[in-house]
Amino acid sequence: MTRNERISIVDTRVHHDGWSNCKTVTYDYRRSDGAWQRQSREIFHCGHGVTILPCDQQRRTVILTRQFRCAASLEGCDQFLIETPAGMLDGALPEDRIVAEAEEETGYRVRNARKVFEAFMSPGAFTQKITFFVGEYSPQDRVSEGGGLLEEGEDIETIELDFDTAMTMASDGRIQDGKTIMLLQYAALHIFPAMPD
């Protein structure tokens, strides 16, 4: 059966409509056994985004960021999160937005940005889809201090890490951001070959 044969929207109630949007959607769902069941879900929409892992293959390094994340802090995370540079599309094409976002946050002008995949990050409640990129940089590509945009409340630290150190930090919990872990795993498979023992 197609999606249209299994889902029938009954009601949509908007609770908040600002920078983000929260609504309750009630729908009838045809289960695998053919029976219909009414369900309700709170759905959050904050727009789609992009993220990138800048890589220097020659030096085996990556550029990451560190910043305060209120939601993580409220859930007991007592450290600023280490993440890949990321941002919202705000109507732009992912390929156009990611290079500008990386430069705003890190101060590096990333070269040869290429899309590697897209993913829904928390599809049980969030509509957001992230487009993931990898790109190249070298020390000569630093064109500013970075740090993000003051008017958006950003206060971002740029971190350059040895790739193997970054992978260790993802394994031991010092890196807890999902999109960052996904891009580091991608890089381990496709960009940075394992060092010989």
The answer to whether residue 32 is domain-embedded is yes
Together in a domain, 143 and 95: yes
Together in a domain, 53 and 26: no
The answer to whether residue 58 is domain-embedded is yes
The answer to whether residue 196 is domain-embedded is no
Q: What is the pLDDT of residues 64-93, one digit of tens each?
A: 999 988 888 888 887 899 999 999 998 899
Amino acid code (one letter) for 91: G
Q: What is the pLDDT of residues 90-136, one digit of tens each?
A: 889 999 999 999 999 999 999 999 999 999 999 999 999 999 999 99
Q: Which residue bears the tokens 């500013």?
A: 144
Closest CA to 63 of 110, 125, 15: 110
The answer to whether residue 185 is domain-embedded is yes
Together in a domain, 154 and 124: yes
Rounded distance between C-alpha atoms, residue 26 and residue 38, angstroms? 7
Length of the chain: 197
Between strands 21-30 and 36-45, the pairing is antiparallel
Tell me what pLDDT residue 150 has: 75
Quote the domain boundaries for residue 106.
49-190
Amino acid code (one letter) for 170: A
Together in a domain, 24 and 80: no
Task: With a cut of 90, say whether residue 153 has pLDDT above it.
Answer: no
Rounded distance between C-alpha atoms, residue 138 and residue 45, angstroms? 36
Together in a domain, 107 and 31: no
Task: With a cut of 80, say whether residue 149 has pLDDT above it.
Answer: no
Tell me what pLDDT residue 77 has: 82
Q: Which residues contact 171 (CB under 8 A, 6 or more apart)?
A: none
Together in a domain, 59 and 130: yes
The pLDDT confidence band at residue 11, using thresholds 50, 70 and 90, is very high
Rounded distance between C-alpha atoms, residue 86 and residue 136, angstroms? 16
The tally of domains found in the chain comes to 2
Tell me what pLDDT residue 197 has: 57
Tell me what pLDDT residue 4 has: 78
> Region 22-28: what's the mean pLDDT?
94
The answer to whether residue 112 is domain-embedded is yes
Together in a domain, 35 and 85: no
Tell me what pLDDT residue 195 has: 63
Together in a domain, 89 and 40: no
Closest CA to 84 of 59, 48, 60, 49: 49
Together in a domain, 76 and 165: yes
Together in a domain, 40 and 55: no
The answer to whether residue 195 is domain-embedded is no
In this prediction the pTM is: 0.90
Task: With a cut of 70, say whether residue 144 has pLDDT above it.
Answer: yes
The answer to whether residue 22 is domain-embedded is yes
Q: What is the CATH number of the domain that holds 77?
A: 3.90.79.10
Together in a domain, 110 and 27: no
Q: What is the pLDDT of residues 163-174, one digit of tens each?
A: 999 999 999 999
Q: What is the pLDDT of residues 173-184, one digit of tens each?
A: 999 999 999 999
Tell me what pLDDT residue 162 has: 97
Tell me what pLDDT residue 151 has: 73
DSSP string, the chain: --HHHHEEEEEEEEEEESSSEEEEEEEEEE-TTS-EEEEEEEEEE---EEEEEEEETTTTEEEEEEE--HHHHHTT--SPEEE--EEE-TTS-HHHHHHHHHHHHHSB--EEEEEEEEEES-TTTB--EEEEEEEE--GGGB-S-----GGGT---EEEEEEHHHHHHHHHHTS---HHHHHHHHHHHHHTSPPPP-
Together in a domain, 65 and 16: no
Q: What is the pLDDT of residues 26-67, one digit of tens each?
A: 999 999 999 999 999 999 998 999 999 999 999 999 999 999
